[in-house]
Homo-oligomer: A and B are copies of this chain.
Amino acid sequence: MIIVMGNTSTEEDLERVVGAVKSAGLDVHISEGVEHTIVGCVGDVSHLDRNELQVLSGVQRVVRVMQPFKLVSREFQEEDTVVDVDGVRVGGSRVVVMAGPCAVEDREMLLETAEIVRDAGGEILRGGAFKPRTSPYSFQGLGEEGLKILREASERTGLKVVTEVLSPEDVELVAGYADVLQIGARNMQNYSLLRQVGRTQRPVLLKRGLMSSVEEWLMAAEYVASEGNPNIMLCERGIRTFSQYTRNTLDLSAVPLVQELSHLPVVVDPSHATGRWRLVAPMARAAVAAGADGLIMEVHPRPAEAKSDGPQSLKPDTFRQTMREIAEVARSIGRGVNNG
């Protein structure tokens, strides 16, 4: 952290700034320039709050030189993290596909979908048992009944299971059935939930908030990691912008950017990002070409009957075609997919 003193600041201002830095356990290095005096902070600045310094008298600007995240940063760990989902490795050379319906609606539908996913090369089954819905009057998911159906589908097909957990008190319950705990976009800064999943060792799929910066997203991952759980997959799922033709704007540049800043694997969700099934295949191909370690997509045997998010679900045929296209693109950049 570098503190730039204004050109009208006094000797006393400087003393108070130095005092504030030292009282946080850091050392300072002062350099008096022609127009500005600069105070460099030496030591571990992760406990130093930029806001506290900014308000001190005489301070013109506080510049953060280091990233505020630590355990999840590329500086802390140079080699890529590969998250092991009960044998399926996310972050390695193979692009991993997670697919399934938005919500678990009934047993037959889910078992049918699971077989479609497995046969096409998917490795992880998605499906919501607890659904966060904008309206209190919409279908909220089957709850534990849905979790049981997911587990049964997993046992029949060998697919691993990813499903969302909405509340700290449900973490234990969901972890009893799921291989991956999903944190949804709306909960990205639900810190009690983040801490709770951080206290397990279960892999976490952390979706980026609709209006979260890359930094806030990595800080959310830091919450999970700081509780002791390093098994984190980041998931880009579109951000909210002025552009309203698509549901959200898929920020694919976040993929290489996050890979530069962090060692964690990155997954892309083209279904929620676009909200339109016609755009899912091109965006899935683009995500793989950009370097994504995995994809999570919605597939439904009969989208027109889906209880939620039908417009963005792929039909089985389109899903199989998309899987073939993904495999080609993965190969073109030296990666592969399962079966592909």
With CB as the reference atom, state the residue of chain B lying closest to A70: B137
Contacts of A54 in B (CB 8 A): 310-311
Q: How far is the CA of A139 from the CA of B274 in the complex (A)?
A: 35
List residues of A (289-315) whose CB comes within 8 Å of B's CBs: 289-291, 303-304, 306-311, 313
Nearest CB of B to A185, in Å: 9
List residues of A (112-147) whose CB comes within 8 Å of B's CBs: 132-139
Given the known A-B contacts A135-B222, A226-B136, are A245 and B214 also in contact in the complex, defined by CB atoms under 8 Å? Answer: yes
Q: How far is the CA of A56 from the CA of B282 in the complex (A)?
A: 22
With CB as the reference atom, state the residue of chain B lying closest to A257: B245
Contacts of A255 in B (CB 8 A): 282
Verify if A2 is at the interface (C-beta below 8 Å from B): yes
Verify if A200 is at the interface (C-beta below 8 Å from B): no
Verify if A36 is at the interface (C-beta below 8 Å from B): yes
Number of copies: 4
Report, as a range, how many residues of chain A touch the other chain: 35 or more
A40 contacts B33, CB within 8 Å? Answer: yes
B167 contacts A226, CB within 8 Å? Answer: no
Nearest CB of B to A215, in Å: 7
- Secondary structure call for the A interface: mixed
Q: How far is the CA of A52 from the CA of B306 in the complex (A)?
A: 7
Contacts of A214 in B (CB 8 A): 243, 245
Which of B139, B186, B291 interacts with A189 by CB under 8 Å?
B186
Verify if A46 is at the interface (C-beta below 8 Å from B): yes
Which of B192, B242, B313 interacts with A166 by CB under 8 Å?
B192
Nearest CB of B to A299, in Å: 14
Verify if A322 is at the interface (C-beta below 8 Å from B): no
Instruction: Name, among A186, A222, A287, A325, the residue most crowded by chain B CB atoms within 10 Å (CB to CB).
Output: A186
Q: How far is the CA of A260 from the CA of B276 in the complex (A)?
A: 12
A132 contacts B332, CB within 8 Å? Answer: no
Q: How far is the CA of A1 from the CA of B283 in the complex (A)?
A: 31
Nearest CB of B to A173, in Å: 13
Contacts of A46 in B (CB 8 A): 135, 137
Contacts of A213 in B (CB 8 A): 242-245
Q: How far is the CA of A40 from the CA of B32 in the complex (A)?
A: 10
Verify if A81 is at the interface (C-beta below 8 Å from B): no
Nearest CB of B to A262, in Å: 12
14 CB contacts below 8 A, A to B, read A31-B33, A38-B40, A51-B309, A51-B310, A136-B223, A166-B191, A167-B168, A187-B190, A213-B245, A243-B251, A249-B253, A253-B274, A282-B291, A289-B290
